[in-house]
Amino acid sequence: MTLHPVVQLAFDGSTIDGSLFTAITGFARDTKWLNTPLNLWTNAGLGVFAVLMVAGWWKARRRDTPTMTLALAAPVAVGVAFVVAEVVKKIIAEVRPCYSLPHDYFVSTCPVRTDYAFPSGHTTVAAASVAALWLLDRRLATIAAGFALFEGFTRVYLGAHYPHDVLGAALLAMPVAYLTVRVLGRVAVPLVTRLSTGALKPVLTAAPAGAHAVR
């Protein structure tokens, strides 16, 4: 049976940091008690970034319109970064480690061969969230950064990605998300201002914390 040309030409990322990948997955083999918790966390953990963005939006309601614009731009920026990463993934076409290093230890199920590895989609979402939140709330961004590092580690630990897939995702996603938020944070202010005076006012604005009506 002849493989599809795209599959034949797929890039083998094991030549970059395959030995480091093997060392990390070897650690996974030695800590099987962690396999299931981290396998569950690697997907569920992405919800943390959604919660942090909701927290940013909630705080922005008590601030000004430019801040609310940044809050609304954050999830859009993450989406843009993810789309860019998916395009890059199709162009580079790096096969998953389970095909290049089949004798290593893998917690994750090996996906179809055309589900490419570089860059890591999970890490893209995590890193983009950090960059988007940085312009909105530095404290939330710092919390997100800690979870993003852990998310990246789980992707390698489970055998889903090489270390360079994770690093590449971060280097790609952060500037894309940052620039997207910066642009939207400027051009979308008039739109958010109009929306803040209509039916969406309760969603976009709130009285400042500690404010009391004058009697």
Residue 176 domain-assigned (yes or no): yes
Residue 7 domain-assigned (yes or no): no
pTM of the model: 0.87
Domain limits at 131? 18-193
pLDDT of residue 215: 40
Indicate which CATH number applies to the domain containing 84.
1.20.144
Residue 42 domain-assigned (yes or no): yes
Residue 163 domain-assigned (yes or no): yes
Residue 168 domain-assigned (yes or no): yes
Residue 13 domain-assigned (yes or no): no
- Summarised one tens digit per residue, pLDDT across range 145-202 is 999 999 999 999 999 999 999 999 999 999 999 999 999 988 888 877 787 777 766 7
Could you write out the DSSP letters of every residue in the chain?
A: -PPPHHHHT-B-THHHHHHHHHHHHHHHHHTHHHHHHHHHHHHHTHHHHHHHHHHHHHHHTTS-HHHHHHHHHHHHHHHHHHHHHHHHHHHH-BPPHHHHSTTS--SSPP--TTS--SSPHHHHHHHHHHHHHHTT-HHHHHHHHHHHHHHHHHHHHTTSS-HHHHHHHHHHHHHHHHHHHHHHHHHTHHHHHHHTTTTTHHHH--PPTT-----
Those residues of the chain that have pLDDT short of 70 are 1-10, 200-201, 203-215
Residue 156 domain-assigned (yes or no): yes
Number of domains in the chain: 1
- Summarised one tens digit per residue, pLDDT across range 186-204 is 888 887 778 777 776 676 6
Residue 177 domain-assigned (yes or no): yes
pLDDT of residue 213: 44
